[in-house]
Structure 1
């Protein structure tokens, strides 16, 4: 092996070792963030995701989970100033995540969730502003990833809520809820850190459909 080849091999091994180390650090950080979240330490988990996002600037998942945490914290929030701060932060990190990946159905779903937070807070004020956009986001997510159970379920639940709001029959959407559960049953997340939520909520809505 000549000197140039030896140098090339050394460089390749060094790069691979660096990537493996970075991946290991990413996995460790994500595992710790999820553990904190599961323990109910939402703020600590969010801080951990923020640190990971800064260290792993090509990874969209940490930004996604910062957005999700702030979206979830916003449900039933009555103080508009707190709500705005949370949803502005969610939007900020969604925007960052969208620069890191293209045609990502999960980010479109989360974007729709954030806008739904606004509608849930004040339907009269934000329903007309964001209602159509939410529907379009779910439709686009389903087009990008027809087998994504979250896209199927969230769109059905949104359509069901809209029908209920306008006094229309919600039963037609129950079939879509059941169809989403079938998708959940066969869905395999790309990794242990990729989005894999929604089945329990889908089953809950399906049970309500049967009453």
Structure 2
């Protein structure tokens, strides 16, 4: 009887600890969703860094830490500062991939690299573009229904088309597909990534101009 009680207590304790972790990640997701400036994004990065330090075997805190820094980088205009923050974001997502390799992490790595390309497109385009396309292609292959992977591929195609002055049909095909996946995905409370629908809507608006 004592053995059974001890097992039940251990199970209950484990569930409580997991619930505490999940609650912390969900809170961080809400903070990230509400962030609209660099200070807020850096606050999110610091928040997820603290979770990652406590939950060293979990990939999600590293993922969101990296995403927070990447989104911060989208607002930065100083090339040197932007490069440093994005390099930190890249290291984080690559560390997360050592814990678990999945479509979300591969897509995020491509996102970070795409932002690194924007630091100096003329110089980096030839060397980084193949890497970025390969990462987004791998992310889609791992999960064809990952809307973030499809959307980011579309945004990369859109940027390439702009740079070379070519048509946007291929890019907008990816973006429309990503938007459709978002529309078909039911809202649910989850610690897994769910961001991107607003980006898809904004990108689709450019396609429809």
Q: Above 0.5 in TM-score?
A: yes
Shift of residue 39, structure 1, vs aligned partner: 5.6
**1:60–1:101: 8 Å Cα contact kept in structure 2?**
yes
* Correspondences of 1:49-64 after superposition (within 5 Å): 49-64=48-63
* Correspondences of 1:126-165 after superposition (within 5 Å): 126-165=124-163
Counterpart for residue 112 of structure 1: 110
Shift of residue 98, structure 1, vs aligned partner: 0.8
Alignment RMSD: 2.1
- CA spacing shift, 1:176–1:46, aligned 2, 3 Å: closer
- Residue 95 of structure 2 corresponds to residue 100 of structure 1: no
Task: Spell out, residue by residue over 1:149-198, the C-alpha distance to the aligned partner (whole angstroms, 9 max, x if none).
Answer: 11112112211211221121112332332122111112257852211111
Shift of residue 86, structure 1, vs aligned partner: 0.8
Q: Helix, strand or coil: the match of 1:139? A: helix
Counterpart for residue 178 of structure 2: 180
- CA spacing shift, 1:94–1:172, aligned 2, 3 Å: closer
Unaligned runs of 5+ in 1: none
- Residue 63 of structure 2 corresponds to residue 68 of structure 1: no
Q: Give the distance between the partners of 2:84 and 2:69, measured in 1 at CA.
A: 9
**1:67–1:89: 8 Å Cα contact kept in structure 2?**
yes
- CA spacing shift, 1:88–1:172, aligned 2, 3 Å: closer
Q: Give the distance between the partners of 1:208 and 1:84, measured in 2 at CA.
A: 27
Counterpart for residue 85 of structure 1: 84
Q: Helix, strand or coil: the match of 1:195? A: coil
Mean alpha-carbon deviation: is it higher for 139-148 or for 16-25?
16-25
Counterpart for residue 121 of structure 2: 123
Aligned length: 205
| Greater C-alpha radius of gyration | 1
Q: Specify which structure has the bigger relative contact order, considering alpha-carbon pairs within 8 angstroms and separated by 6 or more residues.
A: 2
Mean alpha-carbon deviation: is it higher for 125-134 or for 21-30?
21-30
- Residue 201 of structure 2 corresponds to residue 206 of structure 1: no
**2:136–2:153: 8 Å Cα contact kept in structure 1?**
yes
Shift of residue 42, structure 1, vs aligned partner: 3.0
Unaligned runs of 5+ in 2: none
- Residue 25 of structure 2 corresponds to residue 27 of structure 1: no
Q: Helix, strand or coil: the match of 1:99? A: helix
Shift of residue 110, structure 1, vs aligned partner: 0.6
